Amino acid sequence: MKVTFYSLGGAEEVTGSKHILEIDSKSYLIDCGAFQGSRAEADRKNREFGIAADRIEGAVLTHGHFDHCGLFPLLTRRGYRGNIYTTPASRDIASLIMMDSAHIQARDAEYLRKQAQKKGEKFDWTPLYTEQDAIAASGQMVGISYNRPMPIGDSVTLEFYDAGHILGSAMADFTVKKPGGEKIRILATGDLGRKGKPIIRDPAIPANAPDYIILESTYGNRLHDNSRDAFDKLAEIAKQAVNTGGKIIIPSFAIERTQELVYYFHLLVDKKIIPEIPIYVDSPMATNATTIFQVHPQCYSEETKEAFIKHHKNPFGFNSLHFTASVQESKALNERKGPIIIISADGMCEAGRIQHHLIHNIEDPNTTILIVGYMAENTLGRRIRSREAEVKIHGEWFKLKAKVEEINAFSAHADYKETAGWLDELDTSGLKGILLVHGEKKAQVSLQKYLSEKGYPKVEIVKYGKTYDLE
Ligand SMILES: [Zn+2]
């Protein structure tokens, strides 16, 4: 029996996760994420699949982020009819994300077609997939809860463990039984989270000693603030706004970050650390995602479960919390006086309703813009974080007079010490190798060195398309 591993995305980069575990010539796909970044290049990479859909025996999804689930509808479109194993919460989140992407692609195609028509140019761009494909892919998803070992093929068993990254996120633990009864255990972390995050549980320590670990390495060279610090800093900033009667505008990713903010604000009000301030979640996607959080209490930490069940409280709904649906409701927020908190998407301020809130409030020194997430280069969010004197929004220049505050404790990925800390708790007595994926080269080289110096055997940076034997 031959077991090998290779990567078709997420090798020496952080998007497009697509890994193949080949067991006796049968291919199991781990994640099918979309590439992101520069538009033309991402589009080209997304269309080159690297493996024919009918060669895949089974697929696994570790969590619902776009860079892990975003191309499953394309795989379906190209003829994949097999199962996609994932946790029930990830299935819901992925369905929302895939559908949203299909919708955006259809809108983009329409817009680009009109632009080309105006200029009299030829237009031949087609979306990667349609809403029908997204629905079909959702239909192939088979929910397996955490800690429920499930046979997924001849001599292959899959078990999910909490990854502590986002709601529903899982590490995929594969046990391969050799003809002689001997077992090979391969643990794919997916995106590895961190301890002390609100709502979800900490990353689990799988009971089985792995032979190989496929390990993410996004922050292989970085350290974060302690995730418990977020709560205190949030309290401080909210109190300031109460004193000055100002607005707090928070650009936030719709999934996980928004719900964490809502959960923290709920606790702050509950514990009477801050008075009840009106809080508005102004993003249709975030509102839909919050509904998913509400129906998956099986993913909550004990603390959250207690708040949810014992006190009959919904951690994502309380008196001063509002979800705006219509554009009118969103616009009405411009007239509101502070203190008020507005959480809106997109997270990097590149699109969506957040831009309107910035237009109306960025020149007011009484406003606080609170940065809680990663801001990529060349985004409006990055320019605000860098406190540029003037920023352009919707083609117009605005003076940045608002206060800019930052909380760096919200990251959903383990930093390198947290990653090593998790490894140290694992039974690595039989470990034969660590394969690093999902990280930029610099971070990976750094993590490789760090883990090798700690004595972990054979830490390798996975190269795109290269085959690794697992014995
Ligand atoms: Zn992720």
Q: What is the mean pLDDT of residues 203-210?
A: 95
Ligand 1 centre to CA of 456 (Å) is 25
In this predicted model, what pLDDT tens digit does every residue of 156-171 receive, in sequence order?
999 999 999 999 999 9
| Identity of the residue numbered 318 | F
In this predicted model, what pLDDT tens digit does every residue of 266-294 receive, in sequence order?
888 888 999 989 999 998 889 999 999 98
Ligand 1 centre to CA of 84 (Å) is 17
pLDDT at 312: 64
Q: What is the mean pLDDT of residues 363-388?
A: 90
Confidence of residue 303 (pLDDT cuts 50, 70, 90): confident
Cα dist from 31 to 97, 299, 349, whole Å: 14, 20, 27
d(CA 6, CA 465): 6
Angle at 436 between CA 435 and CA 441, to 5 degrees: 145
Residues lining ion ligand 1 (Cβ < 5 A) are: 65, 191
Ligand 1 centre to CA of 222 (Å) is 17
Cα dist from 254 to 115, 156, 260, 321, 354, whole Å: 30, 35, 10, 16, 12
Q: What percent of the chain has pLDDT over 90?
A: 72
Q: Is the pLDDT of residue 314 over 80?
A: no
pLDDT at 152: 97
Confidence of residue 347 (pLDDT cuts 50, 70, 90): confident
Ligand 1 centre to CA of 214 (Å) is 15
In this predicted model, what pLDDT tens digit does every residue of 401-453 receive, in sequence order?
999 999 988 889 999 999 999 999 999 999 999 999 999 999 999 999 999 99
Q: Is the pLDDT of residue 38 over 90?
A: no
CA-closest candidate to residue 438, choices 67, 37, 46, 150: 67
Ligand 1 centre to CA of 65 (Å) is 5
Ligand 1 centre to CA of 457 (Å) is 26
Ligand 1 centre to CA of 112 (Å) is 30
Ligand 1 centre to CA of 396 (Å) is 34
d(CA 437, CA 20): 12
What is the SS3 assignment for the chain?
CCEEEEEEECCCCCCCCEEEEEECCEEEEECCCCCCCCHHHHHHHHHCCCCCHHHEEEEECCCCCHHHHCCHHHHHHCCCCCCEEECHHHHHHHHHHHHHHHHHHHHHHHHHHHHHHHHCCCCCCCCCCCHHHHHHHHHCEEECCECCCEEEECCEEEEEEECCCCCCCEEEEEEEECCCCCEEEEEECCCCCCCCCCCECCCCCCCCCCCEEEEECCECCCCCCCCCHHHHHHHHHHHHHHHHCCEEEEECCCCCHHHHHHHHHHHHHHCCCCCCCCEEEECHHHHHHHHHHHCCHHHECHHHHHHHHHCCCCCCCCCCEEECCCHHHHHHHHHCCCCEEEEECCCCCCCCCHHHHHHHHCCCCCCEEEECCCCCCCCHHHHHHCCCCEEEECCEEEECCCEEEECCCCCCCCEHHHHHHHHHHCCCCCCCEEEEECCCHHHHHHHHHHHHHCCCCCEEECCECCCEEEC
In this predicted model, what pLDDT tens digit does every residue of 53-90 receive, in sequence order?
999 999 999 999 999 999 999 999 999 999 999 999 99
Strands, sheet with 279-282, edge to edge from the N-terminal-most edge strand: 321-323, 279-282, 340-344, 247-251, 368-371, 403-406
Mean pLDDT, all residues of the chain: 93
Ligand 1 centre to CA of 12 (Å) is 16
Q: Is the pLDDT of residue 225 over 90?
A: no
Q: What is the mean pLDDT of residues 33-47?
A: 88
Ligand 1 centre to CA of 362 (Å) is 30
Ligand 1 centre to CA of 397 (Å) is 34
In this predicted model, what pLDDT tens digit does every residue of 91-148 receive, in sequence order?
999 999 999 999 999 998 998 899 899 999 888 889 999 999 999 999 999 999 999 9
pLDDT at 146: 98
Ligand 1 centre to CA of 289 (Å) is 15
Ligand 1 centre to CA of 438 (Å) is 10
pLDDT at 217: 96
Q: Is the pLDDT of residue 319 over 80?
A: no
Ligand 1 centre to CA of 280 (Å) is 25
Ligand 1 centre to CA of 166 (Å) is 7
Confidence of residue 229 (pLDDT cuts 50, 70, 90): confident
Q: What is the mean pLDDT of residues 334-348?
A: 89
Ligand 1 centre to CA of 192 (Å) is 8
Q: Is the pLDDT of residue 22 over 90?
A: yes
Ligand 1 centre to CA of 295 (Å) is 20
Ligand 1 centre to CA of 25 (Å) is 29
Ligand 1 centre to CA of 195 (Å) is 15
Ligand 1 centre to CA of 94 (Å) is 11
Ligand 1 centre to CA of 440 (Å) is 15
Q: What percent of the chain has pLDDT over 70?
A: 99
